[in-house]
Amino acid sequence: MQIIGDNKKKIFFKSLFIHLVLILVGITFMLPFFWMISTSLKSNEQLFVMPPKWIPTPLVWSNYPKALTFIPFFTYLRNTLQICFFCIIGTVLSCSIVAYGLSRIQWPGREVVFLLALSTLMLPYQVTMIPLFLIFKTLGWVGTYKPLIIPAFFGNGFYIFLLRQFFMTIPQELSDAAYIDGCSEFRIYWQIILPLSKPALATVALFTFLGAWGDFLGPLIYINEQNKFTLSLGLQLFRFAHDVEWSYLMAASTVATVPIIILFFFTQRTFIQGITLTGLKG
Amino acid sequence: MKSQLYISKVTKRNIRNGLLFVSPFLIGFTCFIAYPILASLYYSFCDFNIFQEPRWIGIENYRNMLKDDLFITSAYNTIYYTLLYIPFSLFFGIGMALLLNTKVKGLSIYRTIYYLPTLVPTVAASILWLQILDPTYGLINNILRIFGIYGPGWIADPKWAKPSLVIMGFWGIGGAVIIYLAGLQDVPQQLYEAAELDGASSWQKVIYITIPMISPIILFNLIIGIIGALQYFTQAYVMTSGGPANSTLFYSLYLFRNAFQFFRMGYASAMAWLLFITTLICTLVVLKSSARWVYYGGTK
């Protein structure tokens, strides 16, 4: 009896210790969020109070409308969403079509194309950055959203890989039955494979959205007029503007973050599934 | 002979359809990847400022790098950051995943908390951390002050600026943790049971079972991490613009400046190509070495 009791105690303390570490790390990870919100609600004087208060009194909610009018927030939001929308459409369509050709059709050479698609993942953006800029400049696209959107319609190695892995798991019999009924390849793709792949397509759409929402280098290179700025670009401009209080900066950063967090809580499963899908089946 | 040359109607149709389906990628690859790679190789041997036609100057750009102090600084900073960030991020990432994999209660809550920081857009996170790392009013030094410690100048101190960015990088480690965790959950339970029968300690189980079993995922994260670290840009651009005293002038930041602020497109292209080759070599070295430490379960 004594031995069993000791063992139980040992297990209890072990799990207590693990929880303590996890909670401590969790608090450390959450502190920056609290700090961001806390700072965003401080008045100018409160910013320099030592030691700082976590819950400012009074809570200066007016920082938010002020920050959001200082930068034309809603214009930037609309611009960002516009880019996100077209990037999602382009990426989901093109990557699923290409992934279909690399997984559901047997043809010599598809392995070569697949390796080519994978190899693009190792290519630093900086290598193609300058020639791409010159191409888009020649086309007269600099200053428009086209350089940020159009390439999305020609596939992305990472999402092609992800969708290909998913398409491979769909039984071949489904396609065979459709062939016998005289279905064209495109109809099988459109009416059988795509509807069966909704979770994978959702993952691609979600990560494309996140990528486009947070992208900085692309807009930095191609967008020069302030009324065409994206949120990230606008925030950065705000950061370097003179006489900007920390509280406004934090308010603007909070507002740029909150939509993503809300989206995350509604789509958590797609998220987790997507991350594990991308990391594992290599 | 005839039957060998004969290609069935189905095969023909499949080749046509296959090419048709992958054509968006092939077109995109040609226009947005293959041509730009070759063009940038050509520019790297040219004097080129976009206002005039590129002029061939041989390996001059590459030779100039060695004489360029800022280039050397930027390469040093980038290597410093990579060497500091990668080992720590692997260690913490795996460590946190191991703790989460002990059948703890509330796993999904912890997982969510660790993942949330990765969702903050990079520019917003950079601005936030600029505040957190502020020597006087920042969060970190205020917390240290509670314990009577006067913290360093962090992001404002040339000596501490890079470690500051590394610490900030750890905040975004959650994505890797989730990938490791998924890998850990796939490790067959029998292996642990067998080891327990043989009297293995928890530590031995981690070293001899867990780590080898998730080594392909470690390899994946290592490669992705190195590629990402070598291209470190946005945080440095937004937070410090390379300062103080060029201590955060990273390779990609200096490359960007050469291209779009000084319009030294030829020089920037040469830098880009050097980055490309470095990335390839690093990836190949890691992949080569992986034969010795990655375990593929005997299938591959």
**Helical H segments across chain A, by residue range:** 2-40, 44-47, 63-70, 73-103, 110-119, 125-138, 146-149, 157-168, 172-180, 185-188, 194-196, 198-214, 217-222, 231-240, 246-266, 268-280
Q: Torsion over CA of A230, A235, A238 and A239, rounded to 10 degrees?
A: -140
CB-CB neighbors (< 8 A) of A261 in chain B: 116, 119
B162 SS3 class: helix
- Closest alpha carbon within chain A to B18: A101
Query: How far apart are the C-alpha atoms of B108 and B246, rounded to whole Å?
Result: 42
Calculate how close chain B gets to A254, using CA atoms only, in Å. Answer: 8
Residues of B in contact with A26 (CB under 8 A): 110, 113-114
Say if CB B284 and CB B227 are below 8 A apart: no
Q: Give the start-to-end residue ranges of the domains of chain A.
A: 2-63, 71-241
What does the domain layout of chain B look like in residue ranges?
Answer: 2-43, 67-293
The confidence score (pLDDT) of residue B1 equals 45
CA atoms of B168 and A29, how far apart (whole Å):
11
| Single-letter residue type at A268 | Q
Identify residue B95 by its one-letter amino acid code.
Answer: G
What is the rounded distance in angstroms from the CA atom of residue B99 to the CA atom of residue A19? Answer: 9
B137-179: pLDDT as tens digits: 889 998 998 898 988 999 999 999 999 999 999 999 998 998 8
Handedness of CA A275, A229, A122, A157 (dihedral sign): positive
Nearest to B253 by CA among B266, B275, B234, B270: B234
Measured CA to CA, the distance from residue B81 to residue B101 in angstroms comes to 29
What's the complex ipTM? 0.89
Which H helix or E strand runs over B56?
strand B55-56
Measured CA to CA, the distance from residue A41 to residue A45 in angstroms comes to: 12
Q: Identify all chain A residues contacting B15, using CB atoms and an 8 Å cutoff.
A: 107-109
Tell me which chain B residue has its CA closest to the CA of residue A110: B18
Answer yes or no: are the C-beta atoms of A279 and B214 closer than 8 Å: no
Which of A15, A19, A22 to substitute to test the interface with B, most B CBs within 10 Å?
A: A22
C-alpha–C-alpha distance, residues A267 and A261, integer Å: 10
Q: Which two tokens stand for residue A151?
A: 């390439």
Q: Do B32 and A154 touch (CB under 8 A)?
A: yes
- Interface contact A127-B99, CB threshold 8 A: no
Nearest chain B residue (CA) to A125: B231
A13 touches chain B (CB under 8 A): no
Look up residue B147 and give its two tokens: 């314990």
Whole-model pTM? 0.91
Exposure b/e, B29-42, CB count within 10 A at least 16 = b:
beebbeebbebbbe
Is the omega angle on the peptide bond into residue A51 within 30 degrees of 0, that is, cis? yes
Q: Which residue of B has its CA nearest to A280?
A: B217
Which of A29, A132, A186 would best serve as a mutation to test chain B binding (most B beta carbons within 10 A)?
A29
Put simply, the answer to whether B22 touches A214 (Cβ < 8 Å) is: no
- Closest residue in A to B41 (Cα) is A127
Other beta carbons within 10 Å of B214: 27
Cβ contact A280–B238 (<8 Å): no
Residue B155: what pLDDT? 93
B101 backbone φψ class: left, alpha, beta (φ>0; ψ -120 to 50): alpha
Q: Is residue A48 less than 8 Å (CB to CB) from chain B?
A: yes
- pLDDT for the residue A245: 81
How many cross-chain Cβ pairs, A to B, lie less than 8 Å apart? 264
Q: How far apart are CA A161 and CA A224, in angstroms?
A: 34
State how far the alpha carbon of A55 is from the alpha carbons of A38, A47, A195, A251, in Å. Answer: 6, 12, 49, 15
Under-70 pLDDT residues of chain B: 1-7, 297-300
Chain B nearest C-alpha distance from A108 (Å) = 7
- CA-only gyration radius of chain A, Å: 25
Closest CA to B89 of B173, B214, B184, B174: B173
What tokens were used for A48?
A: 């320099």
pLDDT at B5: 54
Band (A242; pLDDT cuts 50, 70, 90) = low
pLDDT, tens digit, 9 for 90 and up, residues A86-120: 999 999 999 999 999 999 999 998 999 999 999 99
Structural element, H or E, at residue B166: helix B161-170
Check CB contact under 8 Å for A276 and B178: yes
Question: Which of A31-40, A241-250, B187-196, B242-251 shows the lowest mean pLDDT across its residues?
Answer: A241-250
CA A104 to chain centre: 28
Does domain A71-241 bear CATH number 1.10.3720.10?
Answer: yes
Q: Chain B within 8 Å of A62 (Cβ-Cβ)? A: no
State whether B25 and A280 contact (CB < 8 Å).
Answer: no
- Identify the band that residue A281 occupies on the pLDDT scale cut at 50, 70 and 90: very low
**Residue B227 to chain A, least CA–CA distance (Å):** 7
Label residue B96 exposed, middle or buried (CB < 10 Å: 0-12, 13-18, 19+). buried
| Residues on chain B touching A272 (C-beta within 8 angstroms) | 111, 178
A52 touches B at CB < 8 Å = yes
Distances (CA, A) of B8 to A5, A173, A227: 74, 21, 58
Q: Choose among A25, A51, A232: nearest Cβ to B121.
A: A232
- What is the structure's pLDDT at A157? 93
pLDDT attached to residue B4: 52
CA nearest to B30 within chain A: A154
Full DSSP string of B83-150 = HHHHHHHHHHHHHHHHHHTTT-TTHHHHHHHHHGGGGS-HHHHHHHHHHHT-TTTSHHHHHHHHTT--
DSSP state of A52: P
pLDDT at site A54: 84
pLDDT at A46 (0 to 100): 83
Supply the pLDDT for residue A282: 38
Nearest by CB: A101 against B18, B114, B279? B18
Q: Does any CB of chain B come closer than 8 Å to the CB of residue A256?
A: yes
* Structure token digits, residue B232: 């470190």
Architecture of domain B67-293: Orthogonal Bundle (1.10)
pLDDT at residue A278 in the model: 61
Query: What is the spatial distance between Cα A185 and Cα A54, in angstroms, rounded to a whole number?
Result: 61
For residue A58, cis peptide bond before it (omega within 30 degrees of 0)? yes
